[in-house]
Amino acid sequence: MNIAVPALVPALPALGAAAIFATGRRAPGWTRPLAILPVLAAAVLALIAALQLGTGRTLNAATLLTPTGGPGIYLALHLDGYTSLITVLVGLVATCVQIYSTAYLKADPRYPSYAALVSLFTAAMFLVVYSGDLVVLLVGWEVMGICSYFLIGHHWETSDARAASLKAFLVTKLGDVPFLFGIFLLAGDAHTFQISGVLAAAAHGQLHHPTLIALLLLAGVAGKSAQFPLHTWLPDAMAGPTPVSALIHAATMVAAGIYLVARLLPVFLLSGAALVVLAVLAAVTMIGSALCALAQDDIKRVLAYSTVGQLGYMAGALASGDREAAVFHLVSHGAFKALLFLSAGVLIHAAHTNSLTAMARIPGLRDRVPDARWTLGIGLVALVGLPPFSGFFSKEAVFTAAEHAADGNALTNGVGPASAVPHAAGWIVLIAAGLTAVLTAAYATRLWLLAFPAKAVAAAAPNGGPEAGAPYSPELDEVAPGHAEPAAMRWPLWVLAIPTIGFGVTGLSPQWLPKLLDGGSLRPSLPTAVVGTGLAVAGVLICWAAWRTVTARAKGVADPGRALLGPLYRPAQHGFFVDRLYSVLFVRPTVAAAELVKFLDREVVEGYVQGSGGAAKVLGWVVRRSQTGNAQTYLSALLAGVVLIAVFVAVGT
């Protein structure tokens, strides 16, 4: 296989980004082709590389980048079935996002910088996936962080966007600090930064601090992949443009953390304690985010909390020792979550509001966006996990992994011994996943019922705009109002609908997806398939019944989430006040410490500096006044000094 093909995959979007930055203002007509063509070419090359590599094979290539006096840093490429699958997903979603954005941000004056950052973001994710060296992987990891900062804050003139971008940057950096120490400790034990060397050291028991390494790495994963307790940045990141949300939630940023744990799973299997910690974090993330999604009125925040919960599913599969199931759900989720966000963008474009209750009051909305209505429905069914859509198969793979781990027969598929996964981790994930399945079905049904009621339940706001008090979305100024999806926004929806519908069946035959990965079975077991589907159907029926009841009572728009959650509604609406807790525990003490430092600097340190300067000034004034130029005065002073000295000497004797 020609190594130039995979090497060009991250290089092309990066070059496209550089070209847009260089020519965007001077030649705006070139921006769209420079945004689309390099990313599209990278997606095609990623597919070619995957086909050339085939199944059950790996490819490694490395050249020394720089000596360090210790473990060297290598510019290394590693290709296997996992990298093939994920790079194809990244290329597909990024291409759809770039095409979609040409219409969604058509009137945005900052579109060139936006398109360049999306391309750079894509290149960084390609680098993370293909990198065979932890330090080079860290470069892509951090480039994604800075790109997310700028893209989330694209509408920097609004306070929400500025605050959200800063929050995303700081929270993810909070996880990246221990993550960096984890990489150094891992390389110190393995005597190399190369991932192949790290895995070889893990296989031969040469890692002396596996628990500490795993926990430090999990801190970075929790930040990047929005797992509790570092999940709070992701819902607020919805202040960015909707296509950016699709990219972050589906194929970059949040997928990077899950991919890293899957890549280094043999390291994590050396520590049962770390797996239990990961299982607990996944369980809290799944249940908490699903409850929060059930209470949100902003359609994008519902989908954001949905992403947090689905990432919890993937983390739960990894805690159960099954990276096949985790990556299966990662790719499946990437397709249907990109579809959901882009469909929601069309809906926002037509309704001029993010508010679900406002959308329910707009007559004829469902008929104005037929493509988005159908594709949003397809994405929601996949999210709920009903057969035969892809979400059913990948979600059931997670259930099956947790079931086997709880029975003591974890599906590690040769990555490590099944006994390395504690029974407790499997039970924690299995119970939490079951409850989350019910809640996911409920909030997905609620979203559909509020966005597309059978008919508008109240008169529309004047001029067809949002109701009074509905949350304003800065994206509404990006595009002109329309009664149908533009072609550039419509066709990416159907492209993403294809894997959303059909990707799941690739896990049924052992010659397809399983052979590409570790070779284990991805067929759902009958008990978990029945139970998982039953829980999803129960969630749909419970929400529908609550909707019928509250709508009949209110005789208008009514939120079934309020009835289902009861006293939990307000806490769930505000994310269970985790941000407020962080403010009390961390933000306020930090601000108070900063105020104290400012006081000490201005009043004490600066006081000493100003005092020393003032004393010198006074001394200079005294000396200057004594210099009169009168010789008699000088002689009188000299005589007085001599007399004083004589008196002191006489008294002393």
Write the CA distances from 23 to 34, 300, 552, integer angstroms: 10, 33, 58
| Neighbour tally for 80: CB within 10 Å | 18
Q: What is the pLDDT of residues 166-197, one digit of tens each?
A: 999 999 999 999 999 999 999 999 999 999 99
Query: In sequence order, what are the residues at sequence separation of 6 or more whose Cβ sits closer than 8 angstroms to the Cβ of residue 504?
Result: 332, 388, 389, 390, 391, 392, 393, 394
Note whether 25 and 109 are within 8 A (CB).
no
Which tokens in the block code for residue 493? 């929806």
Which tokens in the block code for residue 519? 């070779």
Q: Residue 251: its pLDDT value, please?
A: 84
* H helix intervals, 473-605: 487-502, 513-516, 526-554, 560-565, 569-573, 578-582, 588-599
Q: Which residues of the chain have pLDDT under 50?
A: 458-483
Q: Residue 465: its pLDDT value, please?
A: 37
| Neighbour tally for 606: CB within 10 Å | 11
Vertex 331 angle, CA 244 and 184, to 5°? 80
Nearest alpha-carbon partner for 286 in 226, 356, 216: 226
| Neighbour tally for 558: CB within 10 Å | 21
Q: What is the pLDDT of residues 412-446, one digit of tens each?
A: 888 888 889 999 999 999 999 999 999 999 999 99
Query: In sequence order, what are the residues at sequence separation of 6 or more whose Cβ sits closer than 8 angstroms to the Cβ of residue 325?
Result: 317, 394, 397, 398, 400, 401, 411, 522
Q: Residue 470: its pLDDT value, please?
A: 38
**pTM score over 0.85:** yes
Q: What is the dihedral of CA 621, 624, 625, 631, to 10 degrees?
A: 170
Q: What is the DSSP string of 100-145?
A: HHHHHTTT-TTHHHHHHHHHHHHHHHHHHHHB-BHHHHHHHHHHHH
- Side-chain half-sphere CA neighbours of 322 within 13 A: 36
Note whether 287 and 368 are within 8 A (CB).
no
Nearest alpha-carbon partner for 253 in 390, 81, 129, 101: 129
Query: In sequence order, what are the residues at sequence separation of 6 or more whose Cβ sits closer than 8 angstroms to the Cβ of residue 402?
Result: 316, 317, 320, 426, 427, 429, 430, 433
Which tokens in the block code for residue 481? 């109002």
Which tokens in the block code for residue 617? 């000034």
- The CA distance from 594 to 597, in Å, is 5
Query: In sequence order, what are the residues at sequence separation of 6 or more whose Cβ sits closer than 8 angstroms to the Cβ of residue 359?
Result: 299, 347, 351, 353, 365, 450, 451
Q: Residue 459: its pLDDT value, please?
A: 38
Q: What is the DSSP string of 320-370?
A: TT-HHHHHHHHHHHHHHHHHHHHHHHHHHHHHS--BHHHHTTSTTHHHH-H
Strand 59-66 and strand 73-79: pairing?
A: antiparallel
Write the CA distances from 21 to 85, 113, 172, 561, 598, integer angstroms: 30, 7, 26, 45, 39
Largest CA distance in the chain: 116
- The CA distance from 10 to 604, in Å, is 53
Q: Residue 454: its pLDDT value, please?
A: 66
